[in-house]
Structure 1
């Protein structure tokens, strides 16, 4: 979604004609309820593309490479849930919470991180489980059997971004 009505409040040098940028952003984003936002797993700022961005050299990892990593991760997930005899479940997003603790059990450092973050960020039970699902997916994309601290930190960073919503004044 846009950060505000016009979508330009976060652009450098832009001054909203209606009110200060921060207040405009807060009022616009306050229209979304907390329970709705709790169901969104990944929140990422995507700034406007500049002319300088357009002349950058291509990325090292191309679309075909990413597609291959995603296909390998999905295959890993399908095998994992097939071995658990879970009919109709082939992705991390679809598995139920009781199985989540089994398949997304973090390492000791990750467990400490998620425990502290859950308290500091006041994660709901839904938010906690969604962070674990995203972390499990990130581990699958890295070809890791165990969810590590790095995967949880990245998953939490996507959730933390959503929690930085300013309050409407």
Structure 2
């Protein structure tokens, strides 16, 4: 199902298949409006996520005030360096609609630590967002580094991405 480009929507660029599976779990949650989210195929590496954002999504964000982009990468224990590279790539006027999230190491370690499948992790994040969970999954050691980004993302997309806003 494709998004309605005339209404608020979000494109998700996952780095790899594990990230895509997490995002699919999120997208398939009952509270999510599937017409408001478009999950792209795995980019094939964090640098390819950045390149896709610059080449395809910066122009798209410039043309459509309804579009938002979430980039999902593995930080590979290099949070500051990766964040800096992506922050430099996001034009100041588009920062409110571009987001960078992902595990501090990689999704495989997150899956192992949590004892959940990738899709279950995604559903749990959607569940936490939809209910204002007091101890959300993003307080886990491998996700807490992006706590502020999760909160910013939740505030930006919750009104249109979650059924009933």
The reply to whether TM is greater than 0.5 is: no
Q: TM-score range by the shorter chain?
A: under 0.3
TM-score normalised according to structure 2 size? 0.28
Bigger radius of gyration: 1
Return the structure number with greater strand share.
2
